[in-house]
Amino acid sequence: MNKKLYVISGSSGVGKGTVLKEFLKRNPDFMLSVSCTTRSPRDGEVDGVNYFFISKEEFKNCIEGEKFLEWAEFAGNFYGTKKKFINQCLEEGKDIILEIDTQGALQVKKQMPEAVLIFICPPSPEALEKRLRGRHTEDEETIRKRLKIVEEELARAQYFDYKIINDNLDNAVSELENVILGEQKNA
Ligand code: 5GP
């Protein structure tokens, strides 16, 4: 059976991280990709677990050395997925999930057309703003930057293979399971 790569994207604050965490709890055989970022760790985030936290200089060197499968600038910080990390997982026979922004997702699809792109949508733009503010993890300027990006991200959703509305955590997780486990059957 071929191993598959799944890309999950969605607007900031849509709760895609929570949906994904719950999916992984129920399906522990899937591997979650760990990205590199130049943003500072939030409280509780651990280097090598949530992200590889690297400097802008290091990130630039990785771009120049063509080390990234994809990378993007998001709200003033850089984020990227290392080719080596992905190739290693696929070689080890693991199905892998990337949680990245929509720009990165479309780059992955260009290079790996067999990748499955899944977009998690908010029930409404108002619900999204409320959730983003309710997290209390970002300052006002960052929240405003992220809300601006929401519109661009929703526009890119048309290029995704599947869309899941996160109006209820349990339903969204079940839908994600249906999509991924359905794809696994065809692998
Ligand atoms: P956060 O700063 O909230 O952890 O992530 C901000 C955004 O960057 C989210 O939309 C997240 O999915 C995205 N992101 C995380 N890692 C990567 C990556 O490796 N590449 C890209 N393109 N986006 C990423």
Segments making up each domain of the chain, as ranges: 1-30+95-187, 34-93
104 vs 13, residue with greater confidence: 104
Confidence of residue 145 (pLDDT cuts 50, 70, 90): confident
CATH superfamily of 1-30+95-187: P-loop containing nucleotide triphosphate hydrolases (3.40.50.300)
* Residue pair 93/29 in contact by the 8 Å Cβ criterion: no
Q: Is the pTM of this model over 0.85?
A: yes
State if residue 121 touches ligand 1 by the CB under 6 angstroms criterion. Answer: no
104 vs 135, residue with greater confidence: 104
State if residue 39 touches ligand 1 by the CB under 6 angstroms criterion. Answer: yes
Q: What pLDDT was estimated at residue 154?
A: 86
Q: What percent of the chain has pLDDT above 90? A: 70
CA 101 to ligand 1 centroid distance, Å: 5
**What is the residue with the minimal CA distance to atom 15 of ligand 1?**
100
Domain 34-93, CATH among 3.40.190.10, 3.90.1570.10, 3.40.50.620, 3.30.63.10: 3.30.63.10
Atom of ligand 1 nearest to the CA of 9: 12
